[in-house]
A and B are shown apart, each in its own frame.
Chain A
Amino acid sequence: MIEVRNLGIAVPGFSLKGLSFTVPDNAYGILMGPTGCGKTTLLEAVCGLRKTRQGTVTLHGRDITRVRPGERGIGYVPQDGALFPTMTIRDQLAFAMQLRKWDKAKQQQRIEELAELLGIGHLLKRKPRGLSGGERQRVALGRALAFRPEVLCLDEPLSALDEETRGRMIELLKRVQRHEHVTALHVTHSSSEAEQLGTHLFRLVNGGIQEDTA
C-alpha cells in the first residue's frame, strides 16, 4: 500500500502542498494531470529523489518520508528508460541484485525469469544504444523489478512509444503486475492508459489531488 499524507514539495517555480492519496495493496494507481502540473515531481518525491517539506509517505505501514531512495524498496521506471549507457542489458538487470549481494545463481535465475516475462532475452548481451523505444522501456521495467520491490513507480513509461507498441506494453504491464504482485503508481496524461490499466485514478489539478471513483 502506498499512502501519501498531506505531502508538501518545494520546487523552483511552484509548490505542491497538502497532497494525499492511497493506493491499496496490489492496486494499479494512475496519477493524471496536465503537463507541468507536478506529476513527475510528486512521483520523484515518493521515490525519494526529491526533498519534501511536510507530510508523510508510507509504504505498507512503514514511514519512508526520510528514508534514502535506495532503502525504500521502490522500483522506479523513469520516462524513456534512462538506461545505463555503458552497461549491457544483463548488467542493468543485475545492478540492484549485485548491490544487495544476491548470490550468483539467484541473480542468474532472476535475470532469466525477467527476460522471459519481458521478452528481452535476445537483448541481454547488448548495450542500450540502438534499442527501440519499446525495448528500452521493457529493459527499464526489468531493471526496476529485479530486486522484487513491492512498489513500482512509472513515469510516463508509454509516452514515447508508437500506438502498436503501446498496446503491447499495456498488456505487458498488466501481466507484470499480476506476476510480480506489485502495487503500482503510474504517471500519465493519457486517459486511454488510465482506463486500460488503472484500478484507482488520481488527478493532480490546481495543486490538489482528486480521486476519481471509476
Chain B
Amino acid sequence: MPDTPPTPPSETAPRRVRSDVPFFTVMVAIGTSYLALILAMLWADWRFTSFAEIGKALSDEAIRFSITLSLLTCTISAILSVWVAVPIGYLMSRYRFPGKKLIDTVLDIPIVLPPLVIGISLLILFQTPAGRWMDTTFSDLMKLIGADGIRGITYEVPAVVLAQFTVAAAFATRTMRVTFEQIDPRPERVALTLGAGHASAFSRVALPQAYRGMTAAFTLAWARSLGEFGPILIFAGTTRMKTEVLSTSVYLEFSIGNIHGAVAVSMLMVALAMVVLLVTRLLGVGREVV
C-alpha cells in the first residue's frame, strides 16, 4: 500500500458505526467471571462431598431439627419483614416530613452494622428492665397457649427469629421503598377524588401493584434469614435441638473438625435456598398483575 496520509472522511459521508462485538465481548466476559466464581465454589463443595455424606447428615436427628427450624424461622422472619417493610416503604416513598433523612439513615443501620454487633445489641437490649419484662411476659404468654418449651426470648427460638428479622427487615424495607417509588402515585390521587380515603387508595390501588415487589422483598428477607449467623450465635446461642439452624450447624460441624459434615450441610442449604428462591420467583412472575 502506498504511504499516503488517510483522507479525512467527508462530513456528509455515511457514518460507519464500529462493530458491537467488542462491547458485548467485554460485558459478557466481566459478567461471566463472577458467575464462574459462584459456580466454581459450588463445584468444589460438590467434589468434596458426596450423596453418602449428605445422606449421613440428613440421617442425623440434630440436622433434621436444624433444617425444620431454619425453614420455620426464615418463613416467620420473612413474613414479619414484609409486614413492617410495606408501611415503612410506602410512607418513605410517598411523603416528605421533617427528619426523613435521619430516619432513612437509621433504617440502614442493620445493613451496615457487623452482624456480631447486632447480636450483642439485641442481647444487651433484652438485659434492660424493659427487655427482661418482655422476656418474662413472652414466656408467660407461651405458657398460656401451651408452648411451655419456649421459655422467653433470649437463647430461645424467638431469639433466632428476632435476630434474623432485625437484619432481613432492613433489606425488605429497601425493596418495598423502591417498589413504591416506581409505582405512579397519580392513580392513588384519582382514587381520593373518587371518594376513597387514604386507606382504600392504598389497599385497592397501590398495594395490588406492589405484589411483585412484595414477592421480591419476601424472597430477599427469607434468603437473608437463612444466611444469618452472627446475631443468632450471640443472641440465641448454638444449642443442639433447641436453637440450632443450618448456619449454626455448619459452624458446629466445622468447629468439631467435621469438615465433610459442614460441607454436606452447606450443600443442603444451597439446595434449599435455590428451591425457595425459584418457587417464589415463579409465583411472583406467574401472578404478574400489571
CB distance from B204 to the nearest CB of A (A): 8
Query: Is B195 a contact of A100 with CB atoms below 8 Å?
Result: yes
Partner of A99, one of B184, B190, B195: B195
Partner of A49, one of B192, B209, B289: B192
Query: Is B208 a contact of A69 with CB atoms below 8 Å?
Result: no
Q: With contacts A78-B186, A85-B209, A86-B289 known, is A72 near B191, CB below 8 A? A: no
Query: Is B195 a contact of A85 with CB atoms below 8 Å?
Result: no
Query: Is B290 a contact of A86 with CB atoms below 8 Å?
Result: yes
Query: Is A85 a contact of B192 with CB atoms below 8 Å?
Result: no
Q: With contacts A78-B186, A78-B189 known, is A85 near B289, CB below 8 A? A: yes
A95 at the binding interface (Cβ < 8 Å) = yes
Please count how many residues in chain B sit with their CB below 8 Å of the partner chain's CB atoms: 19
Query: Is A69 a contact of B289 with CB atoms below 8 Å?
Result: no
Query: Is A76 a contact of B195 with CB atoms below 8 Å?
Result: no
Q: With contacts A83-B187, A85-B289, A129-B290 known, is A99 near B193, CB below 8 A? A: no
A158 at the binding interface (Cβ < 8 Å) = no
Query: Is B184 a contact of A70 with CB atoms below 8 Å?
Result: no
A198 at the binding interface (Cβ < 8 Å) = no
A47 at the binding interface (Cβ < 8 Å) = yes
- Residues on B with C-beta less than 8 A from A47 are 193
Q: With contacts A99-B200, A129-B290 known, is A82 near B187, CB below 8 A? A: yes
Query: Is A147 a contact of B194 with CB atoms below 8 Å?
Result: yes
B282 at the binding interface (Cβ < 8 Å) = no
Partner of B194, one of A70, A83, A85, A86: A70
Q: With contacts A70-B195, A70-B196, A129-B290 known, is A82 near B209, CB below 8 A? A: no
B88 at the binding interface (Cβ < 8 Å) = no
CB distance from B227 to the nearest CB of A (A): 33
- Residues on A with C-beta less than 8 A from B196 are 70, 95, 99
CA distance A87 to B208 in the complex (A): 9
Query: Is B194 a contact of A144 with CB atoms below 8 Å?
Result: yes
Partner of A78, one of B190, B197, B204: B190
Query: Is A96 a contact of B290 with CB atoms below 8 Å?
Result: no
CB distance from B130 to the nearest CB of A (A): 39
Partner of B193, one of A48, A83, A86, A100: A48
CB distance from A76 to the nearest CB of B (A): 4
CA distance A28 to B290 in the complex (A): 35
Within 8 A of A (CB), among B195-244: 195-197, 200, 204-205, 208-209
- Residues on A with C-beta less than 8 A from B205 are 84, 86
Within 8 A of B (CB), among A48-63: 48-49
Q: How many A-B residue pairs have CB under 8 A?
A: 68
CA distance A75 to B190 in the complex (A): 9
- Taking residues whose C-beta sits less than 8 angstroms from the other chain, chain A's interface range is 20 to 34
CB distance from B89 to the nearest CB of A (A): 18
CB distance from A98 to the nearest CB of B (A): 9
Query: Is B193 a contact of A82 with CB atoms below 8 Å?
Result: no
Query: Is B194 a contact of A95 with CB atoms below 8 Å?
Result: yes
- Residues on B with C-beta less than 8 A from A72 are 193
CA distance A99 to B187 in the complex (A): 16
CA distance A86 to B213 in the complex (A): 14
Q: With contacts A82-B184, A82-B186, A84-B187 known, is A76 near B209, CB below 8 A? A: no
Q: Which residue of chain B lies nearest to A48 when distances are taken between CB atoms in the complex?
A: B193
- Residues on A with C-beta less than 8 A from B186 are 78, 82
Chain A 86-123: CB-based contact to B (< 8 A → 1; otherwise 0): 11000000011001100000000000000000000000
- Residues on B with C-beta less than 8 A from A74 are 193
A143 at the binding interface (Cβ < 8 Å) = yes
- Residues on B with C-beta less than 8 A from A85 are 187, 209, 289-290
CB distance from B40 to the nearest CB of A (A): 42
Query: Is A69 a contact of B192 with CB atoms below 8 Å?
Result: yes
Query: Is B194 a contact of A99 with CB atoms below 8 Å?
Result: yes
CA distance A76 to B188 in the complex (A): 12
- Residues on B with C-beta less than 8 A from A70 are 192-197
8 further interface pairs, Cβ-Cβ under 8 Å (given A82-B190, A86-B289, A144-B193): A69-B193, A71-B195, A75-B193, A76-B194, A84-B191, A85-B290, A87-B208, A95-B194
Could you show 30 A-B contacts with beta carbons less than 8 Å apart?
A: A49-B189, A49-B193, A69-B193, A70-B192, A70-B193, A70-B197, A72-B193, A74-B193, A78-B189, A82-B186, A82-B190, A84-B190, A85-B187, A85-B209, A85-B289, A86-B205, A86-B209, A87-B208, A95-B191, A95-B194, A95-B204, A99-B194, A99-B195, A129-B290, A140-B190, A143-B194, A144-B193, A144-B194, A146-B194, A147-B195
